[in-house]
Amino acid sequence: MDTHSDIKTDVESFFDPDTFTLTHLVTDPASGKCALIDSVLDFDPKSGRTSTKSADKALARIDARGLTLEWVLETHVHADHLTAGSYIREKTGAPIGIGANVRTVQDVFTGVFNLPGVATDGSQFDHLFADGEAISIGGLTGYAMYTPGHTPACATYVFGDAAFIGDTLFAPDYGSARCDFPGGDGEVLYNSIQKILALPDATRLFLCHDYQPGGRELMISNTVAEQRQQNVHLTTCKDAAAYAKMRADKDATLSMPVLILPSVQVNIRAGKLPEPEDNGTRYLKLPLDLL
Ligand SMILES: [Fe+2]
């Protein structure tokens, strides 16, 4: 696959401090076309109130730069924030793309939430990427690379010298993504991380989250070489089995993300909220004693 890794890709990033999520805007300056990766729909779990503040900020930047949004991309079905994918599609007409294994994730979670009315064929999204499939943003051609493990549907998007790695690796001082959600697998994630580390050394790996351990400054990307040499979960685990063991031990100590229940219900629908009931209010479900 020709990755044009000698070209420095135009990337602008937005940080949501509530969920530690990084949203990335990738632009082809020659055509003025762009893609927005992993957007955020703000959600207050205490009140159940949604807001489009974060998404509107990204849309305002796209507008201010005179860009045309060609793709809304999801690296995976997030469990810690709601995606603004559907809202952005409504506003711009841009199609939403995700890895084709989203169908597996929909299958699992329509079971968890007992949502027989939610399709499990990926039809809420506009395009389901195959592994290695090319993606064009104007004249900039990249591709989707499947990187499962955190979830079965995780994909990395590679555009020139920039790769958007979703929840695989985090910053070197924080490590890597948990693998204890339904369909997660530590050995599978280890092998996906090796695929990412096989990209050229200078490739910039853009994070989906930065948790700023110790209150350090925000980290948006690291090179392949930096991750290989410094990532605390790579330097301490010599192979897939050791990594999976470390991951399972660590995951057993983690509590569920605050927004997992609302996030997953909304994100398997590409960010579309459930239809209002006959009183005009939309509702999400809360499974008891299940997770
Ligand atoms: Fe995630």
Q: Which of 191, 226, 224, 189 is nearest to 205 (CA)?
A: 224
Ligand 1 mean position, distance from CA 291 (Å): 16
Ligand 1 mean position, distance from CA 145 (Å): 16
Cβ atoms 234, 247 nearer than 8 A: no
Ligand 1 mean position, distance from CA 181 (Å): 9
Q: What would the mean pLDDT of 90-118 be, rounded to a whole number? A: 97
Ligand 1 mean position, distance from CA 47 (Å): 23
**Residues forming beta bridges with residue 258, ordered by sequence position:** none
Q: Which of 37, 291, 29 is nearest to 181 (CA)?
A: 291
Handedness of CA 142, 211, 171, 267 (dihedral sign): negative
Ligand 1 mean position, distance from CA 78 (Å): 4
* Environment class of 67 (CB within 10 Å of its CB; exposed 0-12, middle 13-18, buried 19+): buried
Ligand 1 mean position, distance from CA 66 (Å): 31
At residue 7 the predicted structure's pLDDT band, cuts being 50, 70 and 90, is confident
Scored b (16 or more CB within 10 A) or e, 214-239 reads eeeeebbbbbbebbbeebebbeebee
pLDDT digits (tens, 9 = 90+) for 23-43: 999 999 999 999 999 999 999
pLDDT digits (tens, 9 = 90+) for 187-240: 999 999 999 999 999 999 999 999 999 999 999 999 999 999 999 999 999 999
pLDDT of 106 over the 80 cut? yes
Q: If DSSP codes are grouped into helix, strand and coil, which group holds residue 241?
A: helix
The pair phi, psi for residue 251, each rounded to 5°, is: -60, -30
Ligand 1 mean position, distance from CA 225 (Å): 23
For residue 204 the two structure tokens come to: 């910039």
Residue tagged 């900020």 (tokens): 57
Ligand 1 mean position, distance from CA 81 (Å): 8
Domains, in order of start, for the chain: 10-265 (3.60.15.10)
Ligand 1 mean position, distance from CA 279 (Å): 33
Q: Which of 68, 61, 79, 69 is nearest to 13 (CA)?
A: 61
What ranges in 65-164 are assigned the alpha helix state H?
Answer: 85-92, 102-112
For residue 172 the two structure tokens come to: 């070197």
**Residues forming beta bridges with residue 201, ordered by sequence position:** none
pLDDT confidence of residue 291: 84
Separation CA 5–CA 24 (nearest Å): 18
Q: What would the mean pLDDT of 157-163 be, rounded to a whole number? A: 97
pTM of the model: 0.96
Ligand 1 mean position, distance from CA 209 (Å): 9
Separation CA 290–CA 280 (nearest Å): 29
Q: What would the mean pLDDT of 259-263 be, rounded to a whole number? A: 96
Portion of the chain with pLDDT greater than 90, in percent: 96
